[in-house]
Structures are given as structure tokens and as C-alpha cells.
Amino acid sequence: MSVSGGVILIEGASPLRMLTIQALQAARCECVAVNDLTEAEAEAKRERPLMLMLDCSSFMPADEGTLSQLQEMRRRVGAPLVLLANLETPTEFIESLSQVGADDCLLKPLRPHQLQPRLAVVSTPRPPVNPISLGRLGPKVVSIVHGRQSFAWRTGELFEHSGYHVLYSSIEDEHVPRDESGIDLHIFCTESREELARALRLRQPAGLRPGARGFLLCAGGPGELVSSPGGGLMAGFDITQVFPEHIVQKANAWFSKSSDALRPESRVPFFCPVEYREAGNIFGTWNSCYSYDLSPGGIFLRTLVPARPGSAVELKIHLTTHRTELLGSGVVAWANTYADRKAFSYPIGMGVQFLGMSPKGLSLLRELCGVDPTEHKPG
């Protein structure tokens, strides 16, 4: 590879691999093709790639050892992981690869017009996300200080998928910057009231700044700890009586953030290849990605190159398990492009609010979400 990097293609030896290599070369990209993850790791040590590209069909089915090896390589190399799938790729396999860090998915055969924007975005240096730089009109930033990791991580995941940026840290983490002026909502999530009091002393010794907001969660509720000497707005919750979905709902209400389209409480995990293009352009080219979760009102799509917020898009949702395809239209409610996230975490991709779909397609979506297809909202 050159100094600027290239793509490591992880695909078993087959006649189809040459077609993938030719598509990469047509996109003016250097490519090193390897047969397995061990070869990929060796190549990545020699020179850091811009992108890892994994052919799904070469690794099905993948055992836990293979998935762990892929996850560790993705973490160590740092480059985004793009899947190569087809309409026969099981949704369960896409889900497994999503859990180990897949950032995008392209349908084969590869097309240069899909590769070029992805290569452009990963090769352009981008500064780490700074909450101050997001600005008043940017996404809200949530800080989660936790001593109860499973609850905190699930809460953070729902915040991320609702368009927030999230900063995670444990109570014992001494490396978190104390200047948190860019945080819109502070969440302290601990096992006990004593642990919560200690976390507050360490992180907010003078209380929340005037106008700041905070949620305090612990078993039995925070009691008198909910008072804020600094003038911030505080709310307390008994962690044994609430769910992460309730916390996101409360935050949406505080920020007057509309949740009609992409409500985390109605979402279900949903993994399949999806294609999208600009609505109304019958000559427009289709782009690929994959879905991460779904609600009756919208869908979250993982991709390195999301469409702009407010854009109208047409969708082709490939239900590979059902061997069918849903056609619909929607509008991009929010989008996060690929960037160096560092400590701040947010989902790369876009949330699309559904605008149009056939009655049959809508009925199937509601069924997939666990909603009674015959149920109608009042009014």
C-alpha cells in the first residue's frame, strides 16, 4: 500500500474475488487481497489501511473465535469495517458482524460509484468530536457516569440511536476531563445511594452549573441527593423501577425532542441489506447500507456516507429471511458521517422516517416490530 493507505479485502479465494478487486481498482484504490483474518492482521501491521472490507460469504458460518478475532482486529486497526453481502446473506450473520463493529454494507457486485465516496470520507482527516463545536443547533450531548454498566450501556445505546452524542465513563475513570461545559445532560447511574454520592463528589463537587440538567439513578432512588446546590435541574429515579427507554423518553421531553418517528421504546433489532437513493430521481443510482433497528415509523441505517438530514429518499429493504423486498419512501431525520469519535460515541449512519409504503408492506413492518397489524392509532 501507499503512504495514504488502501483497502484490505478479506475474501476467500474464488473466481468472484477478481471482480471485487477490479471494482476497487476502477475506483482508483489500492487493494491487498487476503484469504483470512490472520493474513489481514499481518498486512495491517505492515501499513495501516483506510478500510477493511470483509466478504460475508467467505466466512459463513462464523464461530465465536472468528468473531472475537475480527472484533479485536477492528478495534486495533481503527479503520472502518465494510461488509460485502448479497441477497442470500442471512440476517443473523449481518447481525453478528454488526456486533463486532461493522460500519457499512455493500451489495455485490461492487460498483465504483458506491466505493468512491466511502474512500473519500475515510481518507479525509477529520478532527475528533468536541461537544463545544456541535453548537446550539447540533446534536445534544449526554454524559453517562456509571457504576452499573449494563443499564448504562443500554441507556447510552438508545440515546445514540435517537440522535444524541454520548460520553461514557466509569466512576473510577480519572482521565475524564472535568471541563464539561459542552454537556447537555449529565446521567449518574450507580448501584447504591452511597456510590452515587461518591460519584457526585468526584465529578460535580460544586453541583451542576446554572441551567445544566442531570438524572440521578440508583437502587431506592437518590433521595436528598437530587437537590442541586449549583442551580441545575435534577431528576431522580429508582433504577429498580425504570427501564432505559423511560430515561430516553424523559430526556426527549426535557429537550422537547420529537420522538414520534424514531421512538426507541418501539424499536426492535433489525438487520438486513438496504438500498436507498434520492427520491423522485428515476435515473439516480442506488446506494447500499444495512439496517440496525426498526420501528413502525422509521428505520436506522448504518452507512459511512449517509444522505443529508431533510433529504427525501426511496428505500428498498431486502428481507433476506422472507425472500422479499419492501419498497418505501422517507425523509432523513438525522445523519452522522464517519469521523474520529475518540471518547464521544454516536452511531454512524442515518435515521429515516417513513413517509410512504404500501398497506401490505406497512402491515409486514408492524408485524416485524411486534405490533398488531390490525391495531390503529386513535384519531
- The pLDDT of residue 379 is 34
Residue 375: is its pLDDT beyond 60?
A: no
Q: Is 342:366 a contact under the CB 8 Å cutoff?
A: no
- The pLDDT of residue 264 is 46
CA–CA separation, 171 vs 115, rounded Å? 42
* Cα distance between the two ends of the chain: 61
pLDDT grade for 372, boundaries at 50, 70 and 90: low
Between 225 and 148, where is the model more confident?
Answer: 225
- The pLDDT of residue 1 is 46
DSSP bridge partners of 166: 142, 345
Q: Which phi and psi (to 5°) does residue 74 adopt?
A: -60, -40
- The pLDDT of residue 262 is 42
Residue 179: is its pLDDT beyond 60?
A: no
pLDDT grade for 261, boundaries at 50, 70 and 90: very low
Question: Residue 151, SS3?
Answer: helix
CA-based nearest residue to 201, from 131, 149, 145: 145
- The pLDDT of residue 234 is 87
pLDDT grade for 216, boundaries at 50, 70 and 90: very high
Question: Residue 31, SS3?
Answer: strand
Between 12 and 264, where is the model more confident?
Answer: 12
pLDDT grade for 187, boundaries at 50, 70 and 90: very high
Residue 275: is its pLDDT beyond 70?
A: yes
DSSP letter at 304 equals S
- The pLDDT of residue 71 is 85
CA-based nearest residue to 147, from 202, 178, 191: 191
Residue 324: is its pLDDT beyond 90?
A: no
pLDDT grade for 260, boundaries at 50, 70 and 90: very low
Specify the range with the lowest mean pLDDT, choosing from 251-255, 347-351, 362-366: 362-366
The model scores a pTM over 0.75: no
Q: Is 230:210 a contact under the CB 8 Å cutoff?
A: yes
- Mean pLDDT, the chain, rounded, equals 82
Q: Is 213 exposed, middle or buried (0-12, 13-18, 19+ CB in 10 A)?
A: buried
Q: Residue 176 to residues 141, 183, 197, 203, 343: CA-CA distances in angstroms?
A: 15, 13, 18, 9, 9
